[in-house]
Amino acid sequence: MKNLWQDGDVGGQDALAECVYGSRLIGCDHDLVLHGGGNTSVKADFVDITGEVVPALYVKGSGWDLATIEAPGFTPLPLDRLLALLQLDTLADTDMMRELAGAKLNPDAPAPSVETLLHAFLPFPAIQHSHADVIVALTNVADGEGQIRDVFGPDVVIIPYVMPGFDLAKVVAEEWPKQATESTTGMVLLNHGLFTFGATTRDAYGRHVELISRAEQFLAERAPEMLTTGAGLMSPAALVLAELRSQISELAGAPMIMSTHTDDAVAAFVERPDLASLANRGPLTPDHVIRTKRVPMIGRDVEKFGRDYTSYYERNEHRGRTELTMLDPAPRVVVDPELGLLTLGRTVKAADIAADIYRHTMPVLARSEDHLGGYVALDEGHLFDCEYWDLEQAKLRRAGDPPELAGTVAVVTGAASGIGRACASALMGRGAAVAGFDLAEDVGEAFDGPAWLGKSVDVSNAEAQVQALEAAVTRFGGVDIVVVAAGVFGESTPLANHDPEQWRQVQSVNVDAVAALFGAVHPFLACSPVGGRVVVIGSKNFPAPGPGAAAYSASKAALTQLARVAALEWAPDGIRVNTVHPDAVFDTGLWTEELLAERAAKYEMTVEEYKRRNLLSTEVTSAKVAGVVAELASDSFSATTGAQIPIDGGNERVV
């Protein structure tokens, strides 16, 4: 492990600034910390509003990630109160967290780490804690303690696995005087991770680097990592993925995002002859079960996985300290020799976190199994305790309902601008993952975040459109919602000057491409766990065409009929198809300031008056259209199909 500490980058002279910097150094190394894992602290004075100096512990707060933590992410607590709590014989974790919340010197600070009392006890000003891959590779074997002693000798205190919280702090308090010496630079918690400490965070970080480096050298000599070569697995058939996602979502009782991974590292793991045995042993550290469940699903027998999970719950339910609510029994990780690694979650972020964790899990499992005497995880009872921890159950009870479209996947055409972009934004705002198709090359940058996949594609190219659909299914697991917003207007041309080439171009994009899309997307919509939902962006020009717009008006009429036929044909599959007819939506690429001014002048109106030239005297915006589209894609319209809804402020020619 390389020491990355640079004094000039610390960003402050005080102990807390140094702790922030050191925390970020270990937080940015995914071989040490993943997604909110690990914690750090520093003991320093807190000066209250009266000027009184209070000896305090600044400890990482809940909800903060070490990779990006800032000073407000550390919670100051009075040291004397923490040490007093440690004098108790017993203390339930829920009571401990209540006491810690009441002791905060800054009431606006986040809830402190559940390992706060352990940090308070350790007799050093600065502490760093990680879940380093190389440490758990050494501990998760039959004789983990002996192996740690071989690597580190007397330089570390070794603590058997105890669930984080009050009980762990008490065990450390008992073991520390028995094992610690003047040469002690760290502490290893079996099946958990590494603590290092020092007079400063710089010292604690340096010791982390030194101990991790020793572990790396030992493993390099005794347990070399397997080299992976090749191109990975063949890409699975998209429909196979969508059908599996549907089955898993049914077991979960809610739609799930599912991401597919088939690279060579994944291939090397899933092709192991001992996959069924090895992958069933358990996670690297118990806190992973919250993200990945105890074991992955091996293969595709969803019903069996559900039965096995229910049996696991029933075997261990008696361990709960309070009344428990069984979590959904659906897998969060799937390993399959043909499909590769699949990860699931109610959000794309959750599925991606599960993927990150399991990518770190696979090489540790293989390394320990092949070179260190065999991988051994904690027994299922300890893992159950973590998965059904009082604190986690309390979080579930406090959590509100997820966004209404959480776990669903939408495809939006014409998503880089105008109505299409607004629809994509509205759907993501309601919790959906969105794959946006557009001719624009920068569609991938239209939105930030994991819930967005932008694909530059010419929708009039049927093959390219199919490839984009397959990419969406590989990324998100399926398709539940389709919004057809891509379209072109063409030049205003009277019929007397009919241009066959321009006519064909408009029909190709506005009608032919949609027919091709419908043919390709139907199987995915038919196996949607929530029932397929399609919303087509029509136009006022369908019921009320205008002169010079024959190609556009005819294409929108054909598109509307296409949607009506789809509604008739797809209803038995639970797919609903509805059309909206916007008019005078001026915040799109079709309208420039000059064109608006020209049209307004023609009607002897101001631009604002022209924008509101409808019965309700209201401006119709892309966002208003998108709001109706998103509502049609929600459960509010679960009994509506084949509908046509104007969004035009009221038009005399239509009404």
Residue 205: active-site member: no
Pick the catalytic residue from 21, 58, 552, 610: 552
Report CA-CA distances (Å) from 594 to 140, 182, 549, 598, 600: 70, 79, 20, 6, 10
Residue 305 Cα distances to 255, 328, 332, 337, 353, angstroms = 17, 11, 11, 17, 21
Between CA 123 and CA 43 the distance in angstroms is 10
Closest of 535, 626, 545 to residue 579, by C-alpha: 535
Longest dimension (CA), the chain: 99
Q: How far is CA 41 from CA 123, 128, 267, in A?
A: 12, 7, 40
Q: Are 479 and 521 within 8 A, CB to CB?
A: yes
Q: With contact defined as beta carbons under 8 Å apart, do 128 and 345 qualify?
A: no
For residue 248, give the amino acid letter: I
Pair 573, 526: CB distance under 8 Å: yes
The two tokens of residue 573 are 């599959």
CA pair distance 475, 462, nearest whole angstrom: 20
Contact criterion met (CB below 8 Å) for 591 and 621: no
Asked if 171 contacts 162 with a C-beta cutoff of 8 angstroms, the reply is yes
Residues 6+ apart with CB under 8 A from 608: none
Residue that the structure tokens 């004094």 belong to: 7
Q: Distance between CA atoms of 607 and 610, rounded to whole angstroms?
A: 5
Tokens 């009782």 label which residue? Answer: 253
- Determine the Cα angle at 268 with ends 373 and 272, to 5°: 55
- CA 421/CA 403 separation, integer angstroms: 20
Closest C-alpha among 517, 483, 472, 482 to residue 241? 472
Specify the amino acid at residue 408: T
Question: The tokens of 272 are what?
Answer: 């192991």
**CA-wise closest residue to 459 among 489, 488, 486:** 486
Beta-sheet strand order (sheet of 156-159): 74-78, 53-60, 39-47, 126-130, 193-198, 186-189, 156-159
620: DSSP letter: B
Report strand pairing: 53-60 vs 39-47: antiparallel
Task: Kindly calculate the radius of gyration of the chain based on its CA atoms and give it in whole angstroms.
Answer: 30
Cα–Cα distances in Å, from 210 out to 90, 151, 333? 36, 12, 34
The residue ranges of DSSP E strands in 118-221, in sequence order, are 126-130, 156-159, 186-189, 193-198
**Tokens describing residue 316:** 């261990």
Single-letter code of the amino acid located at 343: T
Angle between helices 201-222 and 144-152 (to 10 degrees): 110
Cα end-to-end span (Å), the chain: 72
Phi, psi dihedral angles at 312 (to 5 degrees): -60, -45
Catalytic positions? 552
